[in-house]
Amino acid sequence: MPEPRYRVAIVGAGPSGLFAAQFLTARDDVEVDIFDRLPTPYGLLRYGVAPDHTSIKSVANALARVFNSPAVRFLGLVSFGRDVTREELLASYDAVIYAVGASEDLRMGVPGEDAAGSRSAREFVAWYSGHPDAEPQSLHGVTQAVAIGVGNVAVDVARILAKEPLALDLTDMPEDVLAELRRATLTDVWVIGRRGPQHASFTTTELRELCRTPGVQVSVEESAFDGIDEAALDRRTRANVAVLREASETVVADPRVRLHFLFWRRPVALHGDPVSGLLIERTGLDAEGRVTGTGVTEELDVQLVLRAIGYRAVRLPGVPFDEPLGVIPSTQGRVLDGAAVAPREYVVGWIKRGPIGVIGTNKSDARETVEHVLADLDGLGPLPTRVDVVEALTARGLAPSSFDDWRRIEAAEANRGASHERERMKIEAWHELLDLVQRERPGGPIPPA
């Protein structure tokens, strides 16, 4: 095989980065190195998509095929900004694509938000997905839990809380997580929207699945539907409203959990530490369509508050960042530094367009960026000289983990699963992941940040 002409670095091995790698290596003159902070590829597919959504998770099988190509390398345990810099990558690769997603979450900005028992849905999802950085979650004493926000993340956490734990037994959730869910004594889950059902960002399939969770009685106040002109709604929203109506009219005999959708309410304060109450205020819209408080408040006795109000990206050291929008500024996937295009730097996924869209959205997004990467490479030609980043890392005593290391983690997860009659069970402890990576690595891997 001839030497590839171009070498491209992708920072982030989540779905958007892997779709980009797939499109790039459709050409046989491009070689791709995919960097990730973790020794495990797949990003949000592994640590964000709910464990019981196995058909979405199976996208990972399709994306894994990208690593079958000899033109693609996985370089895990390499943290951008700490182990490798923007300058180093630009000296080593003809193009650099940032695919780092949005790793933080928005805050409500209300008193009591930092009390024990109040956390972001992102952290809760990371816990039940077995992310090595996740703090353990105790559900001890939690009978009433609330998710703030009416998007798909709120749906995911509400469903995991409301679902009969036995129904989660066949997922890849770590055993400790399942044990905690089995011990839980939850009776009520609240999902709170600051606007009406017609404004909620749920997708209908996800909402319907939540509302039809066996053993769950759904309630929606009749007044939530007041003033909705169904004829004026788009298809998704009209279907959402129909799902909510139908669910609230359906009586479930002897429900295990009650699921209350409360619309036109916003959080005002959390009381107690650990949390024992959530003060909410009724809302309306002002003349400009902005959410405004009515001054009418009520208190919910809850012991767990999960804010599911959106993700937020983090600035990468040295890379342009639009702070208010929380993205790397770009045009058609090319990074912008002020008004000018930053040569040979590109973006894909949530760091490009913000934290919206489902896994599949990343495919068309990556296609757009890669078209421009390839057009620019063909225009500019390869760099005259390149530094070998892996050699530079090794010289500094850093040893990136490989796709074979990941295969070893995967095999260990399959083994663990087999002993519980499951296909796979996640390994969530850093030391166990590192042990598996270290097994054939005398120098040892880079310790986590």
Candidates 15-23, 171-179, 187-195, 418-426; binding stretch for ligand NAP (CB under 6 A): 187-195
Record the tokens describing residue 121, joined without a space: 């849905």
188 binds ligand NAP (CB under 6 A): no
Burial class (CB in 10 A: 0-12, 13-18, 19+), 37: buried
Collapsing DSSP states into helix, strand and coil, what is residue 295? strand
310 binds ligand NAP (CB under 6 A): yes
Candidates 231-239, 328-336, 354-362, 397-405; binding stretch for ligand NAP (CB under 6 A): 354-362
State the minimum distance, in angstroms, from the CB of residue 111 to ligand NAP: 14
- Binders of ligand NAP among residues 44 to 83 (CB under 6 A) are 53
State the minimum distance, in angstroms, from the CB of residue 56 to ligand NAP: 6
Residue from 120, 152, 171, 362 touching ligand NAP (CB under 6 A): that is: 152
165 binds ligand NAP (CB under 6 A): no
Collapsing DSSP states into helix, strand and coil, what is residue 70? coil
Whether 147 and 154 have beta carbons less than 8 Å apart is answered as yes
Candidates 82-90, 151-159, 225-233, 441-449; binding stretch for ligand NAP (CB under 6 A): 151-159
User: Cα separation of 67 and 403, whole Å?
Assistant: 8
* Angle, vertex CA 99, rays to CA 350 and CA 149, nearest 5: 25
Pairing of strands 95-98, 340-347: parallel
Calculate the CA 262 to chain-centre distance: 25
User: Cα separation of 7 and 169, whole Å?
Assistant: 43
User: Cα separation of 39 and 74, whole Å?
Assistant: 9
Residue closer to ligand NAP, measured from CB, 52 or 83: 52
User: Cα separation of 446 and 449, whole Å?
Assistant: 9
Record the tokens describing residue 247, joined without a space: 């669910």
- Binders of ligand NAP among residues 243 to 282 (CB under 6 A) are 266
333 binds ligand NAP (CB under 6 A): no
Residue closer to ligand NAP, measured from CB, 153 or 327: 153
H/E element holding 284? strand 277-285
Residue closer to ligand NAP, measured from CB, 51 or 400: 51
Candidates 62-70, 73-81, 245-253, 303-311; binding stretch for ligand NAP (CB under 6 A): 303-311
Spatial CA neighbour of 146 closest among 229, 316, 267: 267
Gyration radius (Cα) of the chain, Å: 23
| Helix ranges (DSSP H) in 41-186 | 43-47, 54-57, 59-64, 86-92, 121-128, 152-162, 175-183
Which distant-in-sequence residues (6+ apart) come within 8 Å of 156 by Cβ? 50, 121, 125, 206
148 binds ligand NAP (CB under 6 A): yes
Calculate the CA 139 to chain-centre distance: 22
State the minimum distance, in angstroms, from the CB of residue 398 to ligand NAP: 33
161 binds ligand NAP (CB under 6 A): no
Site string for ligand NAP, 90-119 (x = CB under 6 A): ----------------x-x-----------
State the minimum distance, in angstroms, from the CB of residue 262 to ligand NAP: 11
Q: Which residue is nearest to ligand NAP (CB)?
A: 151
H/E element holding 10? strand 6-11
Candidates 136-144, 153-161, 321-329, 382-390; binding stretch for ligand NAP (CB under 6 A): 153-161
User: Cα separation of 374 and 376, whole Å?
Assistant: 5
356 binds ligand NAP (CB under 6 A): yes
Whether 357 and 11 have beta carbons less than 8 Å apart is answered as no
Residue closer to ligand NAP, measured from CB, 233 or 383: 233
Residue from 101, 151, 174, 400 touching ligand NAP (CB under 6 A): that is: 151
Residue from 33, 52, 83, 156 touching ligand NAP (CB under 6 A): that is: 156
AA letter at 78: V
Residue closer to ligand NAP, measured from CB, 95 or 147: 147
Site string for ligand NAP, 419-448 (x = CB under 6 A): ------------------------------
196 binds ligand NAP (CB under 6 A): no
Query: How many CB atoms sit inside 10 A of residue 1's CB?
Result: 6
User: Site residues (CB under 6 A) for ligand NAP?
Assistant: 53, 106, 108, 148-154, 156, 193-195, 199-201, 203, 206, 266, 308-311, 355-358
